[in-house]
Structure formats: structure tokens, C-alpha cells
Amino acid sequence: MAANQGERTRRRLSTEERREQLLAVGARLFSESPYDDVWIERVAEIAGVSRGLLYHYFPNKRDFFAAVVERESGRMLRMTAAVPGVPVREQLAAGLDTFLEYVEAHAHGFRAFHRADAAGDQAVRKVYQQALAAQERQILAALAADPEFGAGFEARPETTLAVRGWLAFITAVCLEWLRGSELSREQVRDLCARALLGVLGV
Amino acid sequence: MAANQGERTRRRLSTEERREQLLAVGARLFSESPYDDVWIERVAEIAGVSRGLLYHYFPNKRDFFAAVVERESGRMLRMTAAVPGVPVREQLAAGLDTFLEYVEAHAHGFRAFHRADAAGDQAVRKVYQQALAAQERQILAALAADPEFGAGFEARPETTLAVRGWLAFITAVCLEWLRGSELSREQVRDLCARALLGVLGV
DNA sequence: CCTTTACTTGACGCCGGTTCAACAGCGGGA
DNA sequence: TCCCGCTGTTGAACCGGCGTCAAGTAAAGG
């Protein structure tokens, strides 16, 4: 934090380290302000680096944002992988718990990620949509594997739409929750679980 | 449509008409492209008008977008006003039907409106948030007035969160539906109705 | 006609994104 | 130890859309 290394302790990092650092700074700034209000200059300043370097690592601002989004989507998907073989009803609460833990732990990244929904151009949206589609597939697969839901469920467009809507639901709820709601994680979890079961018509 | 009145049939409209026309063009363009990709110059060109005139009607691009969003939010709220005294269960299907009619009839405006979610700056977000809050209040009031749900419901933060999430749900479902899903309006309506009842824990 | 006012024109400054040629620090070879 | 090349890094210039302004033009209404 803080505009570090004014001019003395300017360090030369490896490509990996520098890239990671820039993405972390980007995640923080994009989580706090809409796309337009995040200046490439400010990102560079906080990273203690020149504007030009950012353009050495990323072709342009759009792609930089897309990289931030992609980094976060990868992290999210890794954490929310379904456990195969376990019934959805049992898995749901635990899965939501890990998801909510992720949301709390990486609030910046989570917010930045969902800013890609309406803000970005084609490239950014594509990354975002693919991440959502992957999450959707995880859920649909888990449902299909469960004897309670599995009867030809995944094929119906209605189910796909329901799952997509549910993802929007938990996203909105989590963003509002992060905003400073006094609700406990358990309450949020139960709310989300109820929503899924309700949507699926149980 | 089409870059009309090249130079011959240039008409002089009343302030109201011109403003309305510009907002309509804006709604179309903002529904098709993200904020940055909509050039003020292009709006003027399609309206058959000079760039300067647009700045005569709206202080700047942001406020122009905010006006587009506000116009649409007003239209939406007017159409989705709840009927007092009627139980929620009965009212829900009919209310959702009018809402879905609105979405189909004003797809451009609906899409443009929801682009304000993550795209805009403070002023635009404020307009958007107020519109959502108003819709939320309509729903909470309808719930509170219903004997089935009304028992001190509106006060609980959990209910507020549930309604907010549900709004995100129907938004996502509608946007996807507009995108060209083969689902009928009745299917979408029932899905949304099920979602609300499920979220409220019935 | 004549008044009003919607509307045009074109030039300008601003500001952020984007480009690019040159610089500087670190590692390896002699 | 010195030099050399690779590459992380810089700083300044350029571009293009936003927003401003002053002066003028022409369409509608009386």
C-alpha cells in the first residue's frame, strides 16, 4: 500500500512477480472504482512503476482489465469445484460455505471480477462469460450426477436459465453482503441454498 | 433508422420532441455497445443533428447516459406498480406478465438501463440504485400488505437482501431470454415466480 | 414579413490511452 | 575484473474523443 519506492528502493522484479503485482494492484483499484475512473497512470504509480511498463506487460487497458478478471475467475473456479458423488443437498451448504469464504477473503477480486459484467468491451465480456459458463457447467454437472435432480435435467434450457439466474442472485447477494450487511455467513448461505432449491422447483 | 436527413429535410422539432428523440437513439446505442464505444458524435449523426446540439440538451456524456437510464427506470416503475389489496400469490403472475411484456417491448431500453450497473460513474450509479430501490420498495410493500407474508416481514434485513437478489435473478434471466432463448414468456414467468416464493422460504 | 429560438459550424483546449526510441541494471563469458 | 547483451524500464511525444464557445443560419409562429 501507499505510493512506495519513491525513487530510492526501485526494485527490478522478475516478469512473473511484476505481472502478479500489477494484477493485484489492478484488482484493488477496479474493485473500488468503475472502469473509466481507474487510470493506468494511477495503477503504475501505486505499483511504483512507470506507465510505459504496464504497456510492456499488457497490450492495452482493456486487456489489462481482462487479465485481472481472468486471474480472479480462475481462482474462483478452483475453489468452488464440486465434490463428485455427493448428493447436491448435502454438498450445497458446504460448497456455499467455501464460496462465501472466498468472497470474504478476496473481496477486491470478487468485486473487480463482477465489474466486467456490463463495463467491458467484447474481449472482457468474453472472459467473463466463459467464467460464468464454466461455473454453470460445474453446477449443472453436479445436478445431473445427483439421483434427486439428474433425470435428464441438464438438457432443458429452462434449467440452464434457472442456474444462470441463480448465479446472478448469489452475486448480487454477496456484493450487497460485502457492502456491510449485518447478516452472518450462515444466513446468507441458507438464503442462497433456499433460492437454488426454490428455482429448481422442489 | 439510417442516417436520415442528409441535408435536405432538416426538421425543427420542439424541445420535448428533440429530447425524446435523442434519448431514444441513446437507448438504442447504449443497448448495443458498452459506454465507451458509444460516441456522442454517432448519436448526433443518427439523430440527424449536430454534436453541439446534444451538448445543448445535456451537459455531458455521463448525464446523457444518466438521462437515458432515468427515462427507462421511470417507464419500468410505472408499468410494474403493484395492485394494492390483492394477495401476492395472485398478483405475482399478472405482475410478472406485464413486466415481461415491458421487457419485450422495450428491449433496447431495458438493456441500456442495466448497463448502468457497473459501467457508470457515481451520478449514473445513483440513478440506477434509486430505481432499483424504488422497485424493491414496491415489492416489499406488496409483501407487507399480504397476510400470508406480512408478519413483520419488511423490517428484516434478510428479506431485503432476498428481494434484491431476486431482482438480480429476474434481470439476468430476462437479459438471457432477450438474447434469443426459445423459452416462452409463460415459462420465464413461472420460473421467476417460483424463484421468489422459494427465496422467501415458502 | 419579423421575431423567436432551435440549430449549425468550426476551431480550440484538455486529458487520458497508446506508442516508441533510448536508457539502465543484472547476469554471463573471457 | 571488465565488458557485453538481454530485457526490465523510462519519459516524452502523439492520438482521438470529450467538452467549450462564439458567431451565425433558418425554420416555425404570429
Band the pLDDT of B187: cuts 50, 70, 90.
Answer: very high
With pLDDT > 70 as the criterion, what percentage of chain A qualifies? 89
Mutate to test the interface with A, among B161, B185, B189 (most CBs of A within 10 A): B161
Q: Can you tell me which residue has the cell 398478483?
A: B91
Task: Give dist(CA A143, CA A138) in Å, integer.
Answer: 9
Nearest chain A alpha carbon to B62: A36
User: Cell 453482503 appears where?
Assistant: A177
Q: Please tell me whether any atom of strand C lies within 7 Å of the Cβ of A34.
A: no
Out of A34, A162, A165, whose CB is closest to B119?
A34
User: Does the distance separating the beta carbons of A116 and B114 come in below 8 Å?
Assistant: no
Residues 6+ apart with CB under 8 A from B196: B92, B166
The series of mean pLDDT values per 10 residues for chain A, 202 residues long, is 39 81 95 92 93 94 95 90 77 90 93 85 89 91 81 73 96 95 92 93 72
Nearest-nucleotide field for B49 (CA, C1'): C7
Q: Chain-centre distance of CA A197, in angstroms? A: 23
- Distance, CA of B88 to CA of B66 (rounded, Å): 32
Residue A52 CA to nucleotide D14 C1', Å?
Answer: 14
Determine the pLDDT at residue B35.
Answer: 92
Give the residue among A16, A15, A44 at the shortest CA–CA distance from A29. Answer: A44
What Å value separates CA A48 and C1' D1? 34
pLDDT band per the 50, 70, 90 thresholds, residue B182: confident
Cβ-count burial of A57 within 10 angstroms (0-12 exposed, 13-18 middle, 19+ buried)? middle
Contact, A11 CB vs strand D, < 7 Å: yes
Residues in A lying within 8 Å of B, measured between beta carbons: 34-37, 114-121, 157-158, 161-162, 164-173, 176-177, 181-183, 187-188, 191, 194-195, 197-199, 201
Whether the Cβ atoms of residue B23 and residue B73 lie closer than 8 Å to each other = no
| Protein CA B53 to sugar C1' C3 (Å) | 22
Point out the nucleotide closest to B15 (alpha carbon to C1′). Answer: C6
What is the reported pLDDT for B145?
A: 84
Average pLDDT over residues B94-110: 94
User: pLDDT for B116-158, tens place per residue?
Assistant: 987 768 889 999 999 999 999 988 888 888 888 766 665 688 8
Distance A49 CA to D11 C1' (A): 12
Angle at B197 between CA B196 and CA B199, to 5 degrees: 65
Choose from A92-96, B86-90, B164-168 the range with maximum mean pLDDT: B164-168
Rounded Cα distance, B34 and A65, in Å: 15
DSSP 8-state secondary structure symbol assigned to residue B82: P
Question: Above pLDDT 90, what percent of chain B?
Answer: 64
Mean pLDDT of B20-24: 96
> Chain B residues within 8 A (CB-CB) of chain A?
34-37, 114-121, 125, 157-158, 161-162, 164-173, 176-177, 181-183, 187-188, 191, 194-195, 197-199, 201
Looking across all nucleic acid strands, the nucleotide with the smallest C1' to CA distance from residue B50 is C8
Protein-nucleic contacts, chain B 21-60 to strand D, CB < 7 Å: 38-41, 51-52, 55, 59-60
- CA of A15: nearest nucleotide by C1' is D8
Cβ of B3 near strand C (under 7 Å)? The reply is: no
User: Using the beta-carbon criterion (under 8 Å), do A119 and B119 form an inter-chain contact?
Assistant: yes
For the stretch A29-49, pLDDT in tens is 999 999 999 999 999 999 999
**For residues B170 and B126, what is the distance between their CA atoms, to the nearest angstrom?**
21
The whole-number Å distance from B98's CA to C8's C1' is 43
